[in-house]
Amino acid sequence: MTLWFMLALMTAAAIFAVLWPLGRRASVASGSDVEVYRDQLAELDRDRANGLIGQREADAARVEISRRLIAAADSIAAPKAEGAAWRRRATAVAALVLLPVGAATLYLALGSPRLPGQPQAARHDAPVDERSIEALVAKVEAHLESNPEDARGWEVVSPVYMRLGRFDDAVKAQRNVLRLLGANGQREADLGEALTGAANGVVTADAKAAFQRAMQFDATDFRARYFIGLSAEQDGRRKEAAAIWSELLAEAPSDAPWVALVRESLARVDAVVPPPKGPSAGDVAAANELSPEQRAEMVRGMVERLAERLSREGSDVEGWLRLVRAYMVLGDRDKAANAANDARKALAGEPDKLRRVEELAEGLGLKG
């Protein structure tokens, strides 16, 4: 309220500053002033003819008297233009009054006066690419509140919720997309991923059902197959998870961006992990000859390499979550707790990512 009062006061002061000089009336000379100046010119000519004043002095005096005569004549003619001056002043007043009123009306109609402000410090602390995303999401949410049947709006905001870690909102948005647009493989997989995120990385029964429906539309959907494998691992069926992920790797394109994730997941349940370009029969045979201790050592080596990478690239929240889970699978609870603490330090300036680490640590029973 104070802000609006100050803005109104400043607008009034600006209008007054412009109107004050426009409203002043200029002094008007009378006809007698003109006659006086004409008499002075005639007297000047007589003095020059009688030799009472020099030529140079006479010329200078004539110029000054003539200037005053012209000004007096103009001031007499000024009242004739008073009507035009009044119209100009009226136009100026209308513009100065209507302009702020029109601007305020447009802002209230098209702007967002109810959008909460954000402190300057918070704006500087936010990542450059996310400084306006909250405002954009707020606009979309306001639109969807009054237009809940806008399927396109729900479809646009759902992946944004996932990026921000607002998984419950992502679940709601994705359910609306399915309700309004119908099911297909991608939409079902999106719902399953949102449900998994909302459960702190656990593939729940609802999430698994969504992934199974996605595979009914497309049996090659890599996300659905990966998460079904993750569900098998979480249920203690490690061999089944290894089989699913091994098959997924065997069919994966060499440049697929998700290959590294599948390989790391497979390393948790099976030490015989094919190299990126596909294993040869000799490689598989050699790996099969490893003793259980050697296989365990191989897995630990992969986990330690992940930890080393995260020490250099600390902003990878997905990597930190995988590292904590990997230590828990290996039975190294202390290392898992240390990894969670390291993640907290590395992600201290990124609250959304830090929240995911805290949720995982709490779910695993790791002390802060």
Residue 324 in contact with residue 361, Cβ under 8 Å?
A: yes
Distance CA 227, CA 192 (A): 9
Contact 278, 263 (CB under 8 A): no
> How many CA within 13 A on the CB side of residue 65?
19
Dmax (CA) for the chain in angstroms is: 138
CA angle at 160 for the pair 155 and 166, rounded to the nearest 5°: 110
Identify the sign of the CA torsion 226, 228, 231, 235: negative
Six token digits for residue 133: 């995303």
| pLDDT computed for residue 55 by the predictor | 74
The alpha carbon of 170 is separated from its chain's Cα centroid by a whole number of angstroms, namely 18
Quote helix, strand, coil % in the chain, to nearest 5.
Answer: 75, 0, 25
Compute the distance between CA of residue 289 and CA of residue 291 in angstroms, rounded to an integer: 6
Amino acid at 362: E
Domain boundaries, the chain: 18-77
Helix ranges, 78-166 (H): 82-110, 120-125, 133-146, 151-164
The span from the CA of 220 to the CA of 231, in Å, is 17
Taking the C-alpha atoms of residue 308 and residue 323, their distance in angstroms, rounded to an integer, is 11
d(CA 121, CA 1) in angstroms, rounded, equals 23
Structure tokens at 102: 């029109």
Question: What distance in Å separates the CA atoms of residue 208 and residue 189, rounded to the nearest whole number?
Answer: 9
Cα–Cα distance measured from residue 271 to residue 292, given in angstroms and rounded to the nearest whole number: 9
The C-alpha atoms of residue 336 and residue 145 are separated, in whole angstroms, by: 42
Calpha distance 52→35 (Å, rounded): 23
pTM of the model: 0.42
Per-residue pLDDT of the chain (368 residues; tens, 9 = 90+): 566 667 677 777 766 666 666 555 544 444 566 677 677 777 877 777 777 777 777 677 777 777 776 766 666 555 544 555 666 666 666 656 666 676 667 666 665 555 555 555 555 455 544 446 778 888 888 888 889 898 888 988 899 888 888 899 999 999 999 999 999 999 999 999 999 988 888 898 999 999 999 999 988 888 999 999 999 888 888 889 988 988 888 887 767 788 888 888 888 886 444 444 444 444 444 445 556 666 567 667 778 888 888 888 778 888 888 888 888 777 788 888 888 888 888 888 888 888 888 888 887 777 65
213 within 8 A of 183, measured Cβ to Cβ: yes
pLDDT at 280: 42
DSSP conformational letter for 80: G
